[in-house]
Amino acid sequence: MFSLAFVLLSYAEVNISVTNGKSILLDDPSGVDYVFIFSDLAEAEMTTADSNPQWWRMEGMDSVMVSNAADFFPKDTAVTTTYILHTDEGRVVFAVVDYGRLKVEIDDIEVDLQYENICEETKLNIKGKVPQLYYFNQYGAKKEIDRKGEITYSSLGWSGEQWEDSLCVESIYLPDIDASHPSYIIVGAPLCNTQFALVADQYAKQLDIETDTVYSLLFEACASAAHITSITTVRGTAQENQMTNEVERPVDEAQLSGSAPLDILFKANANNASVNGPTKYYQWRILKGNELIAQRNDEEQRYVFDDYGEYRVLLWVSSDRCRPDSLEVSVSVSTSQLLVPNVFTPNGDGQNDEFRVMYRSIIEFDCWVYNRWGKLVYHWSDPAKGWDGTINGRPAAEGAYFYVIRAKGADAEEGSKYTSKSKYKKNPPIGIYQLSGDINLLRGK
């Protein structure tokens, strides 16, 4: 025997290879140069092409030479043994492991239905045998080799528009288990009913050793999830929107901001019974600042935002077992604006052919047009429309006309009223419009 003080000297690289027996090399071993994991150590045969080989077996802090032939048969009775190969070219330290005597045998997996965090993750109790896989490094220290299993189960994935079936595959570390000491692993919480399937371990697969896949009983999912989507009512046709006189008009169904009124349908898109999921309960809340302005318990909610400001739309979804999962989107309604032109040209050229105001977030509107003798010639109450310069279907004469407008914006304070012209000019209230003036009708090209 000799001490490790000798074998730990640094030498050049030594050639060593496996000539018989199915084996794999452990990635990045600690404290040795190589770890060979054999499917059956009884079939193992190793060799070196270097000159004057000496094969030493480590026994604790000492080593014993066991062969000086080129070929070496590590048929020791131990499930793992560490060796040192010395040649004229240098030395290597390597361990051999008999996987065939340390195979994983899983009897059963079951979901722990009493697990306190079952809504966020799943605890799977494992029954069977998972022996510790290990080797000894050149210092005599025991090094455990991680064993991994693969858990597969069904869940749901959100495509951006709908739920789709999704196969989840999770690589997990297997704890050491024997018949008297079952253990568990933690995986994600599925969003639909499923079975869990476990296959172990990665070395069996690499060594072409057949292993059985073990299945749990059908698990009824309890975790809730949702994805808020919205459909905003679009105002006007595509052609009208190209020549609109409304600033920030909602022209896209995905729009969550702009000119009032914003008429929006919100959808929860929860993992409910329609997709084999557990969600049953819904609660919508709409807040402006800290003020609750609407609350409902349907799967969908429609709301018309006709007041200026910033809104929060909150959703809670839950199942019979799990606490609510919350989501939130924001809605922004613009301040009001109303601008009146002083001329329009109804000559049929497609430009400025109507007397229209430019506006934003106007929720009440009336406009009256009078001729020079004070006779009413036109009235309308939709700010998106206007006067085409005709009276009773005939072209009106060119010249000046007089308009009066009363309108209310989304940012008008509750209870705000129209007032006398003098008071309005002196101190106009926010969001209240009382306007009057001349509009010139010209027909020239």
Q: Both 287 and 350 in a single domain?
A: no
Question: Both tokens of residue 156?
Answer: 């749901």
Q: Both 305 and 387 in a single domain?
A: no
pLDDT, tens only, 68-92 = 999 999 987 789 999 999 999 999 9
pLDDT, tens only, 91-107 = 999 999 999 999 999 99
Q: 445 pLDDT exceeds 80?
A: no
Measured distance CA(365)–CA(408) in Å, rounded: 7
pLDDT for position 9: 32
The residue among 192, 215, 238 that closes a domain is 215
Could you tell me if 74 and 134 are in contact, meaning their C-beta atoms sit under 8 angstroms apart?
no
pLDDT for position 368: 98
Look at residue 133 and tell me if it is in a domain: yes
Q: Both 53 and 149 in a single domain?
A: no
Could you tell me if 101 and 164 are in contact, meaning their C-beta atoms sit under 8 angstroms apart?
no
Q: Both 262 and 345 in a single domain?
A: no
CB within 8 Å of 113: residues ≥ 6 apart: none
> Residue 270 sits in a domain of what CATH number?
2.60.40.10
Question: How many CB atoms are closer than 10 A to CB 425?
Answer: 10
Q: 441 pLDDT exceeds 80?
A: yes
Look at residue 191 and tell me if it is in a domain: yes
Measured distance CA(336)–CA(362) in Å, rounded: 6
Look at residue 221 and tell me if it is in a domain: no
Residue among 151, 257, 292, 170 at smallest CA distance from 214: 151
pLDDT, tens only, 149-178 = 999 999 999 999 999 999 999 999 999 887
Place of tokens 């009066």: 404
The full length of the chain comes to 445
The residue among 101, 130, 150 that closes a domain is 101
Q: Both 83 and 118 in a single domain?
A: no
pLDDT, tens only, 129-151 = 999 999 999 888 999 999 999 99
Higher local confidence (pLDDT), 88 or 1: 88
Measured distance CA(181)–CA(177) in Å, rounded: 6
Look at residue 197 and tell me if it is in a domain: yes
Higher local confidence (pLDDT), 445 or 253: 253
Look at residue 169 and tell me if it is in a domain: yes
Instruction: Name the residue range of residue 417's domain.
Output: 338-441
Q: 315 pLDDT exceeds 90?
A: yes
Q: 7 pLDDT exceeds 50?
A: no
Q: Both 311 and 347 in a single domain?
A: no
Q: Both 193 and 208 in a single domain?
A: yes
Q: Note the helical H segments in 144-218.
A: 202-206
Look at residue 322 and tell me if it is in a domain: yes
Q: Is residue 429 very low, low, confident or very high in pLDDT (cuts 50, 70, 90)? A: confident
CB within 8 Å of 134: residues ≥ 6 apart: 80, 97, 142, 143, 144, 145
The residue among 288, 311, 333 that closes a domain is 333
Q: Both 351 and 398 in a single domain?
A: yes
Q: Both 95 and 115 in a single domain?
A: no
Q: Both 141 and 188 in a single domain?
A: yes
Q: Which of 122-126, 406-410, 418-422 has the lowest mean pLDDT?
A: 418-422
CB within 8 Å of 281: residues ≥ 6 apart: 297, 316, 317, 318, 319, 324
Q: 240 pLDDT exceeds 50?
A: yes
Q: Both 357 and 411 in a single domain?
A: yes
pLDDT for position 1: 33
Average pLDDT over residues 201-229: 94
**Taking all residues of the chain, what is their mean pLDDT, rounded to a whole number?**
91
Q: 22 pLDDT exceeds 90?
A: yes
DSSP secondary-structure letter at 204? H
Could you tell me if 96 and 145 are in contact, meaning their C-beta atoms sit under 8 angstroms apart?
no
Q: 277 pLDDT exceeds 90?
A: yes
pLDDT for position 94: 94
Look at residue 313 and tell me if it is in a domain: yes
> Residue 15 sits in a domain of what CATH number?
2.60.40
Using CA atoms in the order 433, 434, 436, 440, what is the torsion angle rounded to 10 degrees? 20
Please confirm whether the linkage preceding 261 is cis (ω < 30° from 0).
yes
Q: Both 369 and 402 in a single domain?
A: yes
Could you tell me if 134 and 68 are in contact, meaning their C-beta atoms sit under 8 angstroms apart?
no
Number of domains present in the structure of the chain: 4
pLDDT for position 380: 97
Q: 24 pLDDT exceeds 60?
A: yes
Q: 60 pLDDT exceeds 50?
A: yes
Q: 4 pLDDT exceeds 60?
A: no
Look at residue 224 and tell me if it is in a domain: no
